[in-house]
Amino acid sequence: MEHLDAQEREQQWKKIQEALFNKQIGEFRAEFLELHPYDQAKIFEEQSEDVRMLIYSYLSPEEMADVMENIDYEDVEEFFTEMDPRYASNVLAEMSTDDSVDILNELDKDKVASFLTIMDKEAAQEIKELLHYEEKTAGSLMTNEYVVIHAGQTVKEAMRHLRQEAPEAETIYYTYVVDDQKRLVGVISLRDLIIAEGDWLVSDVMSDRVVSVSVGQDQEEVAHMMRDYDFLALPVVDFQNHLLGIITVDDVMDVMEEEANDDYSKLAGVSETERSDQSALAAASKRLPWLIILLFLGMFTASLIGRFEKALDVVPILAIFIPLIAGMAGNTGTQSLAVAVRGIATGEIEKLGKTKIIIREGLTGLITGLSCGIVVTGVVYVWQGNLFLGMLVGLSIMMTLIIATIAGSMIPLVMHRFKIDPAVASGPFITTINDIISILVYFGLATMFMDLLLKQ
């Protein structure tokens, strides 16, 4: 099955649509089910409710489960609401347990209770076991659809058990080994099982150096661990090392995308819950808190400029360079902020050390500030014919770039130290802070050397 681009998907849909509306069920199923589930999902999402209702009637719950697993779980509430409740509960039962849990966490509690009541008891019980874990933890990511073998089994017995359980498991490339108390004691790869002699004990073949995560561990830490170790799956254990479930790489990829979007939204001063399909009123309500905070900070900046009104009266040309100095400070502060937040997110900060990061950013600010200061000094001198004014602007830019760069790196590090998400030190916030710094530096220097300015 090849992946379709938007144009190919549209052409394919025309064929499927013709069969759908002509009630040629066999032809519709043949065309639709030939597609990769991702392409099925993309076609499905683009349809009106009337068309989707027809698709529900032509696909089994198992087939619809494949479609739903390829749709962002935050977008599926509408679909499960419009489905017949029994059909919807059967779709959830056919999905991977962890995917079903993600979807149910997006629905109203009354709907969740209704679906679980209608659902097959065994499937409902598996879902209930995962529903109570806190969101964005290893417990909320894990699935209980995995194969486990016992250390005392022979390889032959383990292979027989693996063949029986494999159809229902999310992955069989790693098989986890437990003792009689269901404590995790080892892991064995499918390759090692295949090449081992049948009468060997699993305990002799397995590796007892198992990397696992706690059920309450943050999902971002889990993602970093999976990335660092290049695992396809990670076992999840409780405080007594009992195996509770596994986390697979596809779930971690979703987490990494979610965390990246979250951090990007915060850096832009936008709520991570804001979606592109929301109304203008809903979007505005999420942005307003940030904007109001920034408004008051901006008013404070304006009042600072007002304090230096005498300097502006005496040397009006000083006002020309306010946007230049403030803009440069904001830009370099945002760059430094982005580097620091990324370093915290990837774990680089812990490896290099916070002091080294701050020193490096300070030196970076010194180099960039000195370079920009020299350039600006020459440009202002040529433009205005006033050497001291050029030196004042150049020195101001150099100092503000140094301070803004250090501030941009230190603010997220301090917030991280106090267990506050460093991404909330957003671009607009750090820009406004650096505006204040730049105004204080610029007019402070101008006031100190006013006599020299007037002599030029």
Cβ(93)–Cβ(125) under 8 Å?
A: no
Q: What is the mean pLDDT of the chain?
A: 82
Does 328 have pLDDT greater than 90? no
Q: What is the mean pLDDT of residues 152-181?
A: 90
pLDDT at 132: 83
Model confidence pLDDT, tens digit, residues 71-122: 887 778 889 989 999 999 999 999 988 888 888 888 888 888 889 999 988 8
Cβ(369)–Cβ(398) under 8 Å?
A: yes
Quick one: 280-455 is in which CATH superfamily? SLC41 divalent cation transporters, integral membrane domain (1.10.357.20)
Angle, alpha carbons 328-332-334 (nearest 5°): 115
- Order of strands across the sheet that contains 233-237: 213-214, 233-237, 243-248
Angle, alpha carbons 165-173-212 (nearest 5°): 100
How many residues in the chain?
456
pLDDT at 287: 61
Among 267, 261, 269, smallest CA distance to 286 is for 269
3 state SS of 370: helix
pLDDT at 438: 83
Q: Is the dihedral of CA 319, 320, 326, 329 positive or negative?
A: negative
Q: Which residues contact 154 (CB under 8 A, 6 or more apart)?
A: 198, 199, 200, 201, 202
Model confidence pLDDT, tens digit, residues 27-57: 888 888 888 888 889 889 888 888 899 999 9
Model confidence pLDDT, tens digit, residues 235-284: 999 989 999 999 988 888 877 766 665 655 555 555 455 455 556 776 66
Domains 148-255 and 280-455 alike in fold:
no
DSSP secondary structure of 248-295: EHHHHHHHHHHHHHHHHHHHTT--TT--TTS-HHHHHHHHHHHHHHHH
- CB-hemisphere CA count at 13 Å for 330? 16
At 14, the amino acid letter reads K
Instruction: Please tell me the CATH code under which domain 148-255 is placed.
Output: 3.10.580.10
DSSP secondary structure of 113-148: HHHHHHS-HHHHHHHHHHHTSPTTBHHHH-BS---E
Could you give the CA distance from residue 254 to residue 140 in angstroms, rounded to a whole number?
13
DSSP secondary structure of 412-424: HHHHHHTT--GGG
CATH classification number, 6-135, choose in 1.25.60.10, 1.10.150.20, 2.30.40.10, 1.10.287.180: 1.25.60.10
Count of C-beta atoms within a 10 Å radius of residue 387: 13
Which of 454 and 323 is assigned the larger pLDDT? 323
Hunting for tokens 């939204």 — which residue is that? Answer: 265
Does 317 have pLDDT greater than 60? yes
Whole-angstrom CA distances from 445 to 189, 286, 392, 396 are 68, 40, 7, 7
138-142, 360-364, 412-416: least confident range: 412-416
Model confidence pLDDT, tens digit, residues 338-391: 777 777 766 677 767 778 888 888 898 899 889 988 998 998 888 878 788 888
Which of 83 and 326 is assigned the larger pLDDT? 83
Count of C-beta atoms within a 10 Å radius of residue 270: 16
Q: Where residue 314 falls among pLDDT bands split at 50, 70, 90?
A: low
pLDDT at 59: 93
pLDDT at 178: 94
Which of 9 and 227 is assigned the larger pLDDT? 227
Domain spans of the chain, in order of start = 6-135, 148-255, 280-455
The pairing of beta strand 243-248 with beta strand 233-237: antiparallel
Q: Is the pTM of this model over 0.95?
A: no
pLDDT at 205: 92
Instruction: Please give the distance of CA 449 from its chain centroid, rounded to a whole number.
Output: 49
Model confidence pLDDT, tens digit, residues 190-231: 899 999 999 999 999 999 989 999 999 988 888 888 888 888
